[in-house]
Every structure is written in C-alpha cells, then in structure tokens.
C-alpha cells in the first residue's frame, strides 16, 4: 500500500502518491512561454547569431573608409639594386639603379612607409554588398523569431500533455477509491455470507492493478514536466513545479477571431527573407563585373648601405636617409571575368527561383494547416458533446450496478465491467477536451499568432 497526499489544483483536489515535495511554485502557460524566450540556452545562441549577422551590415558600410597601413622594415640582403629586398604587403615596390655587376655581399636596408588606399567609387558594388548583408541579417533575425515561435509551441503542447495526465490521474484515483470501497463492501458481505470470499481477492487484485496504473501515469507526468523544464530553460526540479492551468481540460475554449494575413507568420517571414537574400546576392553578382576606382598615396623614408657611386657604407643602411612620397589613381576592370560572372548569375537566378517556390509551398502549407485545424476544432466540439453524455450515462450505470451488487443481483465481473466503462468514459472525455485545445493551438500556429490560444486562457 502506498501513502497518498492531497494535491489541490485549480480543477479540484487530486490525490497523488507521496512523490512531490511540500514546497512548489506555480507555473502557468503564459509564464512558461515567457521563460522560453528569455532563458532557453539554444534560443540565446540563435539570438547571438542574429546579432553577429547585424555587424556584417556595419562591416559592409565600413568599406567606404580608406585603409591606411603603416610599417617599418629592416633587412639584410644582397648588394644588387642597392636597396636589397623588402617583404611585400605594406609597401609599394621601391626600385633603384642597377649595380654594375652581380655582387652577393649582403648590405643592410631599411624602409618606413605609410600607405593609403581608398575606393570611393565602386559603381554600385558596395551598395549591393550592404543590401546583401542587410538581407542576411533579416534572415538571421527571422530564424530566431521562427525558432522562438516553434519553441513556444512545443512548450504549450508539452504543457497540455502534462495537464491531460493530471486529469487522467484524477480519474484513476477515483477508480482506486471506487475499488477500495468495493473491497470494503465485499469484506462485509463475505463475512455475512452474502458474497463468496473470492470477490475480496479479486477486489484486492484490481486495487493493486489500479494503483500500478496510477504510478505509471505519475511517471509519464514527471517526464512531461521534465521536458517542460528543458524547453523553458528552468533549472528547477520537476517535482518543485506545480502546473496551474489545469482547468482547461474540463472546459471548451471559445473560438477567437483567426482572420489574418500570412505575411505576419514567422515561417512565412523567414522564407520571404530568404528569397530577398537570394535577390540581394544576385544583385551583388550582377554588379561584380563593374569597374572599380582606387585612390592611393604613399609616403616613405628609406636607407641603404650602398651609396650612389656604388660604394658600400653599411652603417648608412640602418638610417633613413631618403624621403619620398607619391599618389595616384587606378581604374580597374575585369575584362575576362564576363564568362565566370555570367555563370554565377545563372546559378543565383536558379537559387532565387528555388526560394520563390519554397515560399509558395509555405503559403499553401499554412493555408491547408489552417483549414485542417478549423475542421478538427468543429469535429472535436461535437465529440466533446457526445463524451459528456457517455460519461454521465456510465456514471448512472455504475451507480445502479453498485446497488445491484450489494443486493446480490450481479457478480463481481459485471460490477468491474461497469467501473471500467466509467473510467474509459472519463479518460475519453479528457482526451476530447485535450484534442479541442490542440486544434485551437494548431489554428493559432497556422495563423502565426500564439496569442490566439493564450487569450482564451483568461
């Protein structure tokens, strides 16, 4: 025999096994979905990814600023060409008069330089890169919003399953109480010789089976609350959480206004932004064949261990003795890049058409999902009406069977059959209420607005 405690919920007092701690805090559906967006680690990761994509826009805009590179080099290289060697990258090429002949004696050489490069005019290439970065950021932001939407849907769905299990546990606890009452009654009737002793044994077996089934339901409930804490990012132990929105399994939600455009749906906005990103990428490729205008300026000082007459003065190689500056303009155009860019344009046009087709599929899926959810809502509303009649009839039948059993008109088997039918009717009724709330949730998801579901909880 297990010890039982009373757990009071908004739907009534429910007897549960001694698996729950004394201190618990309530958790509603609204609180659960709010916690999801603020605490769930995976959503935080996607939020940071979206923020990282936002910096790409700033990086693309930052290319308008000039680049200035300062550097100093000191080397020890061959005599030829006077200055020897310089490591490329920070300096424009520096040339000098050739030596009279090959001399492989090493001499020092130094150079200090400041190189400026500016590309003020890109003929639309920079703007295309900015638009592409902005479109990619929009995709990342919509991916985050869609992930939050899906995660909140999963939270509500899991919450509904947990509340459904609470309702089942209440029904099974009622069945246990009915079996225990029958056991006590059979003990009295057997003692008086009105009932065989085998009935007592059968009641004890049925009671053990009913308590085992209740323990199984409690395990399933614990798993659902554990999943709920994972989805919401709650660090609490599932035994410390008390679900408060339990009354919805016993009432029918009113159908709210579900009219709205698909443009507000997170999934639609995600695929629409992907299409826009493909358009921006195509525009960037189309402008890649345009010319570029670069401005450059360079100021440097140099030192050489070789004098103008060809004599070697190694000490002079470590000092900056010659100062120079220069500036220029460069217009470049990829003459032979047309074929490659033309292939890239064809590639990106195909990618764009693919995104357009996916967007059309999303429109179709959401519309059909909305129609299906509305049909299921209407059907489950009719099922609930029948389940209420079934439960009431099963209760009346069981009450009559109890009197018949006490009067010796029926045997144990017929009584337990009536009790099983009552339990089945109660669980079917709970399932019908669960399904109509699921239909409303599906309708809210298809409409792209979970508030459609949440507002009915008031």
Q: Tell me the mean pLDDT in the region 38-57.
A: 88
Greatest mean pLDDT among 110-114, 121-125, 186-190, 266-270: 266-270
Lowest mean pLDDT of 140-154, 195-209, 379-393, name the range.
195-209
In this prediction, residue 14 has a pLDDT band, given cuts at 50, 70 and 90, of very low
Strands 25-27 and 241-243: parallel
Q: Give the number of other Cβ atoms within 10 Å of residue 123's Cβ.
A: 14
Q: What is the pTM of this model?
A: 0.78
Q: Could you tell me the pLDDT band of residue 96, with boundaries at 50, 70 and 90? A: low
**Average pLDDT of the chain?**
83
pLDDT of 84: 52
Q: What is the pLDDT of residue 147?
A: 92
Band the pLDDT of 113: cuts 50, 70, 90: confident
Most confident of 123-137, 304-318, 444-458: 123-137
Mean pLDDT of 388-409: 89
Structure tokens that stand for 4 in this block = 């039982």
pLDDT for 406 beyond 50: yes
Q: Tell me the CB-side half-sphere exposure of residue 352, using CA atoms within 13 A.
A: 15
Residue 115 in contact with residue 339, Cβ under 8 Å? no
User: For position 93, what pLDDT does the model report?
Assistant: 60
**Calpha distance 170→244 (Å, rounded):** 15
Rounded to whole angstroms, the Cα distance separating 376 from 384 reads 12
Q: Which CATH architecture has domain 4-65+126-290+340-457?
A: Up-down Bundle (1.20)
DSSP per position, 136-153? HHHHHHHHHHHHHHHHHH
Q: Average pLDDT for residues 227-243, to the nearest whole number?
A: 88
The percentage of residues in the chain with a pLDDT greater than 90, rounded to a whole number, is 40
Q: What pLDDT is recorded for position 323?
A: 79
Three-state DSSP at 25 gives strand
The lowest-confidence range among 191-195, 257-261, 425-429 is: 191-195
Per-residue pLDDT for 296 more than 70? yes
Residue 15 has pLDDT above 70, yes or no: no
Note the pLDDT of residue 290: 87
Can you name the residues that pair with 327 across neighbouring β-strands? Answer: 297
Q: Which residue has the tokens 């009295």?
A: 188
The larger pLDDT score, comparing residue 314 to residue 395, is at 395
Residue 94 has pLDDT above 80, yes or no: no
Asked if the model's pLDDT at residue 360 lies above 90, the reply is: yes
Residue 315 token pair: 């000490």
């Amino acid at each position: 025999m297990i010890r039982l405690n009373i757990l009071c919920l908004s739907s009534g007092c429910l007897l549960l096994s001694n698996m729950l701690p004394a201190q618990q805090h309530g958790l509603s559906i609204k609180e659960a979905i709010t916690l999801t967006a603020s605490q769930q680690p995976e959503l935080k990761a996607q939020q940071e990814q979206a923020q990282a994509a936002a910096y790409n826009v700033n990086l693309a805009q930052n290319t308008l600023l000039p680049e200035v590179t300062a550097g100093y080099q000191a080397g020890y290289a061959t005599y030829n060409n006077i200055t020897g060697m310089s490591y490329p990258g920070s300096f424009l090429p520096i040339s000098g008069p050739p030596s009279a002949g090959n001399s492989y004696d090493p001499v020092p050489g130094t150079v200090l330089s400041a190189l400026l490069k500016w590309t003020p005019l890109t003929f639309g290439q920079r703007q295309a890169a900015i638009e592409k970065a902005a479109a990619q950021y929009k995709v990342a932001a919509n991916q985050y919003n869609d992930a939050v939407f899906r995660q909140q849907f999963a939270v509500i769905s899991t919450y509904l399953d947990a509340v459904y299990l609470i309702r089942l546990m209440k029904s099974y606890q009622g069945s246990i109480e009915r079996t225990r009452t029958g056991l006590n009654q059979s003990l009295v009737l057997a003692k008086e010789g009105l009932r065989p002793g085998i009935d007592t044994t059968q009641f004890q077996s049925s009671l053990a089976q009913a308590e085992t089934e209740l323990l199984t339901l409690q395990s399933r409930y614990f798993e659902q609350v554990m999943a709920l804490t994972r989805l919401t990012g709650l660090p609490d132990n599932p035994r410390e959480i008390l679900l408060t929105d339990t009354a919805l399994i016993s009432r029918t939600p009113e159908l709210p206004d579900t009219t709205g455009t698909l443009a507000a749906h997170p999934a639609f906005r995600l695929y629409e932004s992907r299409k826009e990103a493909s358009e921006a990428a195509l525009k960037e490729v189309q402008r890649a064949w345009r010319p570029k205008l670069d401005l450059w300026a360079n100021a440097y000082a140099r030192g050489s261990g070789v004098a103008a007459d060809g004599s070697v003065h190694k000490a002079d190689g470590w000092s900056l003795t010659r100062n120079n500056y220069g500036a220029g303009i460069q217009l470049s155009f990829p003459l032979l890049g047309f074929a490659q860019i033309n292939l890239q344009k064809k590639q990106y046009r195909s990618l764009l058409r693919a995104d357009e087709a996916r967007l059309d599929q999303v429109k179709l899926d959401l519309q059909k999902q909305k129609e299906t959810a509305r049909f299921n809502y209407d059907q489950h509303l009719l099922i609930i009406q029948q389940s209420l009649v079934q439960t009431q009839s099963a209760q009346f039948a069981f009450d009559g069977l109890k009197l018949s059993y006490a009067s010796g008109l029926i045997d144990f088997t017929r009584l337990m059959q009536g009790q099983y039918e009552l339990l089945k009717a109660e669980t079917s009724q709970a399932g019908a209420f669960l399904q109509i709330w699921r239909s409303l949730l599906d309708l809210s998801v298809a409409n792209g607005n979970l508030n459609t579901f949440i507002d009915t909880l008031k």
